[in-house]
Amino acid sequence: MKDKYYLGVDIGSISTKGVIIDSKDRIVASDYLWTEGNPIEAVKNLIKSLYEQVKDKNINVVSVGTTGSARYLIGKILGASVVKNEITAHAIGTMNRVSDVKTIIEIGGQDSKIILIDNGVVIDYNMNTICAAGTGAFLSSQAKRLGVEIEDFGSIALKSKNSPKLSARCSVFAESDLVHKLQMGYKKEDVIKGLCEAITSNYLNNVAKGKQIKSPIVFQGGVSKNIGVKKAFEDNLGKKVIVIDDGHLMGALGIALIAKKSKLEKTFDFNIKDVKFKTIGRECSKCSNNCEIVNVYKENEIIDCYGNKCERGVMSY
């Protein structure tokens, strides 16, 4: 009997991640791509990449899970067995790597979150999706302003011996403050370290405000690769912070594990590259909710819609 495999896709506004795991929860294929404002095309490229990585071209993928901001849309396109929010997926994926994790610090491209876990159960969480300050996109824009590759940001920060205090509560004010500190004569590495510390303070004073951060602490998301920010968290908390090598894949891994556990199995076809999908957004006016509904088409046939809060929205497509 052929071994069973499970596909997990985590599709966000900035990046799209995917993994295929086997029956023993081992990752056999993975990738991380930019979404570039086109989640459908990003997922097509992701599926193509994952298929090229597997040795057995007749691989038996029996269940698919999707998470992330475009999880419903991509779930319809891939015929997902399960669609879950990022909090659940990240928690499950991280516990697979660090079984006794109690705090997950996650800073992505455009949002950040904290997840608190006790005895394998999520007991609290918070997300910040409103302001860009303190996210990967903010750091990337400042790296460009400073003429530094974002990949070198952390190592440069560690060279600093005298970092200034920067405001990062607002991205506009932070940029102005950064320029001011440079004009005052601070070295580039000092300002970069100051940015790393400001990102950390902003997170702890806003996203994690009022939360009890307990060890083991796992730091993930794209910003976790910045060793300057990791060091700033450790200095601020006075505790060790763990960064997993494939921490950027924890959402995809988590939803693949959830898909496996669901036992909801169906045949998955990797050949979607040439299939034409499109979405059309509209506002339903059949009740006072005025729901924003998205119709999903495969070729010229509507396959589903979502966004409706009542059955009238479904009936109106």
Can you give the pLDDT at residue 170? 60
Q: How confident is the model at residue 298 (pLDDT cuts 50, 70, 90)?
A: confident
Among the ranges given (95-109, 118-132, 245-259, 296-310), the one the predictor scored with the smallest mean pLDDT: 296-310
Q: How far is CA 189 from CA 146, 172, 215, 232, in A?
A: 10, 21, 30, 14
Q: How confident is the model at residue 69 (pLDDT cuts 50, 70, 90)?
A: confident
Q: Cis bond leading into 164, ω under 30°? A: no
Q: How confident is the model at residue 134 (pLDDT cuts 50, 70, 90)?
A: low
Q: How far apart are CA 92 and CA 94, in angstroms?
A: 6
Can you give the pLDDT at residue 25? 96
Q: Which token pair is 234?
A: 């450790």
Q: How confident is the model at residue 71 (pLDDT cuts 50, 70, 90)?
A: very high
Q: How far is CA 262 from CA 30, 84, 249, in A?
A: 21, 12, 20
Can you give the pLDDT at residue 283? 87
Domains and CATH numbers, the chain: 5-90+252-273 (3.30.420.40), 102-242 (3.30.420.40), 278-315 (no CATH)
User: What residue has token string 């929205």?
Assistant: 313
pLDDT digits (tens, 9 = 90+) for 157-201: 888 888 777 765 665 566 677 777 777 877 888 888 888 888 888
**What does R_g of the chain's alpha carbons equal in angstroms?**
21
SS3 sequence, the chain? CCCCEEEEEEECCCEEEEEEECCCCCEEEEEEEECCCCHHHHHHHHHHHHHHHCCCCCCCEEEEEEECCCHHHHHHHHCCCEECCHHHHHHHHHHHHCCCCCEEEEECCCCEEEEEEECCEEEEEEEECCCCCCCHHHHHHHHHHHCCCHHHHHHHHCCCCCCCCCCCCCHHHHHHHHHHHHHHCCCHHHHHHHHHHHHHHHHHHHHCCCCCCCCCEEEECHHHHCHHHHHHHHHHHCCCEECCCCHHHHHHHHHHHHHHHHCCCCCCCCCCCCCCEEEEEEECCCCCCCCEEEEEEECCEEEEEECCCCHHHHHCC
Provide the mean pLDDT of the chain: 87
174-188, 200-214, 254-268: which is most confident: 254-268
Mean pLDDT of 67-81: 91
Q: How far apart are CA 268 and CA 225, in angstroms?
A: 33
Residue 130 has pLDDT above 60, yes or no: no
Query: Is the model more confident about 315 or about 307?
Result: 307
Query: Is the model more confident about 275 or about 78?
Result: 78
Query: Is the model more confident about 171 or about 78?
Result: 78
pLDDT digits (tens, 9 = 90+) for 267-278: 898 988 878 888
C-beta of residue 214 within 8 angstroms of C-beta of residue 98: no
Can you give the pLDDT at residue 143? 80
Can you give the pLDDT at residue 317? 58
Q: How confident is the model at residue 206 (pLDDT cuts 50, 70, 90)?
A: confident
As a whole number of angstroms, the longest Cα–Cα distance in the chain is: 70
pLDDT digits (tens, 9 = 90+) for 81-124: 999 999 999 999 999 999 999 999 998 777 789 999 999 999 99
Q: How confident is the model at residue 236 (pLDDT cuts 50, 70, 90)?
A: very high
Q: How confident is the model at residue 280 (pLDDT cuts 50, 70, 90)?
A: confident
Can you give the pLDDT at residue 141? 77
80-94, 271-285, 299-313: which is most confident: 80-94
